[in-house]
């Protein structure tokens, strides 16, 4: 079965959604589903989960990890994710479309790039109580604006989303997570190019040309900012997609190989095993998901 695509969890996708902001507590939806949010994705929503109490398990793409509070979880659009919460879990889920982020007063897009760049480390532990208290207060105020719908509530909601996003990005940066590198304009442009072309383009020269740089200069710049080379970022994105298709679809492995522009299935199998230590078939057999 293909990975479900929702607007909000359980709701049909809405590709026309714009200027959309939604806030709710974690129990309000999770408790109706026996505290289990099965693996799914959203086409055009970013989400910030603020975990105040409790914990459980989080599925992010093809990886599963334990979750404990207090923590923040960042979910960019199209990323596969799911949760199995403890019944004691409490906190907030903030969902918004990217056009809302354009109202942040951030013309360079650094704030939304920071949130979207959390693929490597989506779960952020919050060690200082004052940080969680600040986020919880903002989430509660956002929810109040949504429920009361007073004059100017949409402007107020967008402003609260902006404040929440900035607070989260400050925490990301202070923890020196890999997503902090998305404040670099070159890396942000490269990630956008990779997302658009990774299925058919592995060549570092292709991306360097798009950025008006030499391959060597691009590799050195990305390595200095992120700790890995541009070539490794390309390879990581292809590997993430391969894992997603193996874990969440019934697509034959040979078709996955060709869809990801490998010369043949054996080349795909060798490359996948070099990166993961197992064959694609073994990974598919072992892949756990929250179902």
List, as one string, the DSSP characters of the chain: -PPPEESSTTSPP-TT--S-EEEEEHHHHHGGGTTEEEEEEESSEEEEEEEEE-EEEEEETTEEEEEESSEEEEE-TT--EEEEE-TT-EEEEEEEEHHHHGGGS-TT-HHHHHHHT-SS--EEE---HHHHHHHHHHHHHHHHHHHH--TTHHHHHHHHHHHHHHHHHHHHHHTT-GGGGGGSHHHHHHHHHHHHHTTT---HHHHHHHTTS-HHHHHHHHHHHHSS-HHHHHHHHHHHHHHHHHHH----HHHHHHHTT-SSHHHHHHHHHHHHSS-HHHHHHH-----
* pLDDT-wise least confident of 68-77, 132-141, 243-252, 281-290: 281-290
Q: What is the mean pLDDT of residues 146-171?
A: 89
291 pLDDT exceeds 50? no
Structure confidence at residue 112 as a pLDDT band (50, 70, 90): low
Average pLDDT in the 121-141 region? 87
**pLDDT bracket for residue 19 (50, 70, 90):** confident
Q: Is the pLDDT of residue 264 over 80?
A: yes
191/88: higher pLDDT: 88
280-289 burial, b if ≥16 CB within 10 A, otherwise e?
Answer: beebbeeeee
Ramachandran region of residue 214, left (φ > 0), alpha (ψ -120 to 50) or beta?
A: beta
How many CA within 13 A on the CB side of residue 238? 24
Residues carrying CATH 1.10.10.60, the chain: 184-286
Considering just the CA atoms, what is the radius of gyration of the chain in Å? 19
Of the ranges 57-71, 161-175, 209-223, the best mean pLDDT one? 209-223
Task: Say if residue 177's pLDDT is above 50.
Answer: no
In the chain, the percentage of residues whose pLDDT exceeds 90 is 50
**pTM reported for the whole predicted model:** 0.75
Q: Across residues 81-93, what is the average pLDDT?
A: 96
Tell me the pLDDT band of 61, cut-offs 50, 70 and 90: confident
CA-to-CA distance for 226 and 245, rounded, in angstroms?
A: 26
Q: How confident is the model at residue 171 (pLDDT cuts 50, 70, 90)?
A: confident
What pLDDT does 117 receive? 61
Measured CA distances, 145 to 21, 83, 93, 153, 201 (Å): 11, 27, 15, 6, 45
In the chain, which residues fall in CATH 2.60.120.280? 5-177
pLDDT of 227: 82
Which CATH code, of 1.10.10.60, 3.40.50.720, 3.40.1110.10, 3.40.50.970, is assigned to 184-286? 1.10.10.60
Minimal CA–CA distance to 40: which of 79, 11, 73, 74?
79
pLDDT tier, 113 (very low <50, low <70, confident <90, very high otherwise): low
**What CATH architecture is 5-177?**
Sandwich (2.60)
Per-residue confidence (pLDDT) for residue 229, from 0 to 100: 92
């Amino acid at each position: 079965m293909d990975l479900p695509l929702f607007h909000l969890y359980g709701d049909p996708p809405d590709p026309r959604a714009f200027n959309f902001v939604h806030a709710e507590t974690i129990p309000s939806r999770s408790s109706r589903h026996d505290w289990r949010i099965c693996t799914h994705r959203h086409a055009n929503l970013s989400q910030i989960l603020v975990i105040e109490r409790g914990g459980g398990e989080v599925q992010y793409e093809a990886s599963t990890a334990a979750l404990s509070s207090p923590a923040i979880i960042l979910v960019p659009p199209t990323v596969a994710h799911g949760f199995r919460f403890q019944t004691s879990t409490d906190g907030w889920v903030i969902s918004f479309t990217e056009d809302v982020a354009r109202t942040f007063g951030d013309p360079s897009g650094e704030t939304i790039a920071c949130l979207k760049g959390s693929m490597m480390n989506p779960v952020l532990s919050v060690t200082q109580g004052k940080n969680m208290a600040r986020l919880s207060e903002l989430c509660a105020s956002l929810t109040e604006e949504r429920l009361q719908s007073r004059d100017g509530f949409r402007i107020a909601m967008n402003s609260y989303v902006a404040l929440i996003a900035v607070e989260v990005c400050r925490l990301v940066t202070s923890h020196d997570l890999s997503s902090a590198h998305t404040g670099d304009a070159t890396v942000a442009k490269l990630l956008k190019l990779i997302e658009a072309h990774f299925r058919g383009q592995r060549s570092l020269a292709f991306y360097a040309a798009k950025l008006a740089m030499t391959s060597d200069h691009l590799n050195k710049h990305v390595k200095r900012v992120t700790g890995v080379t541009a070539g490794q970022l390309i390879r990581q994105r292809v590997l993430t997609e391969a894992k997603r298709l193996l874990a969440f679809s019934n697509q034959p492995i040979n078709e996955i190989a060709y869809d990801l522009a490998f010369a043949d299935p054996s080349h795909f199998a060798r490359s996948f095993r070099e990166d993961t230590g197992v064959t694609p078939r073994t990974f598919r057999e072992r892949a756990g998901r929250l179902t």
